[in-house]
Amino acid sequence: AAAGAIILSTWDFGAAANAAAFARMRAGGSLIDAVEAGGMVPEADPNNHSVGYSGYPDRDGHVTLDAVIMDDAGGVGAVAALENTTHAISVARRVMERTPHTMLVGEGATTFAREQGFPQEKLLTPEAEKAWRDWLKTSKYQPEANSENRITRTPGGALDHDTIGLLARTLDGRMAGACTTSGMAFKMRGRVGDSPQVGSGLYVKAGVGGATSTGLGEEVTRVAGSARVVASMRAGATPQKACEDVVRHIAKLRGDAIRGVQVGFLALDPHGNVGAYCLLPGFTYAVTDASGTTSIRKARSLF
């Protein structure tokens, strides 16, 4: 299935996720297998504080995960505010495949994951707990552009990681996507971002294309960002133009309220055309082509 494949994911750390997704496709896996395998990479990474295990907690000290997985034929599964399970993307897939629902949240999602046999573990690592305790000293909720969850790291350092959104396509134009995150560091308890919400953090439509987002989720949810990108593509826009249109729309709608805020979109069409655009400089993404070669690219920005 890897022939003609393209895999696209948010941020430079997407390269490792793309490699896992590509390997899964080459081994005969489906698109859903591939995007799930990709999402699992940062989820398990103890150095990534914005996805899965070792994610930064909410302001009460709970690590809560959001994830969604989607194929191009209306298959959707999502979890929000999931606790104690590292692989939120796999739980989202189980929601899609084994329940009559599209999303489970909070305690229900956590119980479902446990009943499905997912290992139960403490997701808050000593390092993330320390960052949270340091944050409590000021308790100032002020997300930082391009590393929304950075609190203790060096600016531009190798550990600047955020939400992962993945889009994958096979040669015959079929597509799937996944998005997984621990959300904004030190968010309010119960806060759900754009990432697990179909149409905001991810949207995929057969014959048209897919889109995914990263950055300050509220600014994406407000406009159902990823659905909007795909709707533009359906109306004839290229993936690039569709990403630019939604970013401009957010900027116009929000004016001064989005000063210093990052939001980025990626899009992919069934022919393999790629689009990327963001509010502020600094949003990178990883593209893996059919040969398995990955390049890291810088998205153009509005400001």
The residue ranges that bind ligand SD4 (CB under 6 A) are 50, 148, 162-163, 181, 183-184, 193-195, 214-217
Task: Check whether 229 is labelled as a binding-site residue.
Answer: no
Q: Choose between 1 and 216: whose C-beta lies nearer to ligand SD4.
A: 216
Q: Choose between 173 and 282: whose C-beta lies nearer to ligand SD4.
A: 282
CB burial readout 39-61, b (16+ within 10 A) else e: bbbbbebeebbbbbbbbbbbbee
Task: Check whether 216 is labelled as a binding-site residue.
Answer: yes
Task: Check whether 194 is labelled as a binding-site residue.
Answer: yes
Task: Give the nearest distance from C-beta 83 to ligand SD4 in angstroms.
Answer: 15
Q: Choose between 5 and 92: whose C-beta lies nearer to ligand SD4.
A: 92
Task: Give the nearest distance from C-beta 193 to ligand SD4 in angstroms.
Answer: 3
Residue 99 appears among annotated catalytic residues = no
Task: Check whether 214 is labelled as a binding-site residue.
Answer: yes
Task: Give the nearest distance from C-beta 11 to ligand SD4 in angstroms.
Answer: 8
Query: What is the side-by-side strand order in the sheet with 175-181?
Result: 103-105, 76-82, 65-71, 175-181, 164-169, 6-10, 284-288, 294-298
E-strand stretches of the chain: 6-10, 65-71, 76-82, 103-105, 164-169, 175-181, 202-205, 209-215, 263-268, 274-278, 284-288, 294-298, 300-301
Tokens of 37: 């395998």
Q: Choose between 53 and 270: whose C-beta lies nearer to ligand SD4.
A: 53
Sequence-ordered alpha helix ranges (H) in 83-156: 88-98, 106-115, 126-138
Task: Check whether 215 is labelled as a binding-site residue.
Answer: yes
Q: How large is the C-alpha radius of gyration of the chain? A: 17
Kindly report the backbone phi and psi dihedral angles of residue 48, in degrees, each rounded to the nearest multiple of 5, phi listed first.
Answer: -100, 115
Options 86, 110, 163, 284, the catalytic residue: 163
Task: Give the nearest distance from C-beta 210 to ligand SD4 in angstroms.
Answer: 17
Which residues are annotated as part of the binding site for substrate?
Answer: 191-194, 214-217
| Residues with catalytic function | 163
Which residues are annotated as part of the binding site?
Answer: 191-194, 214-217
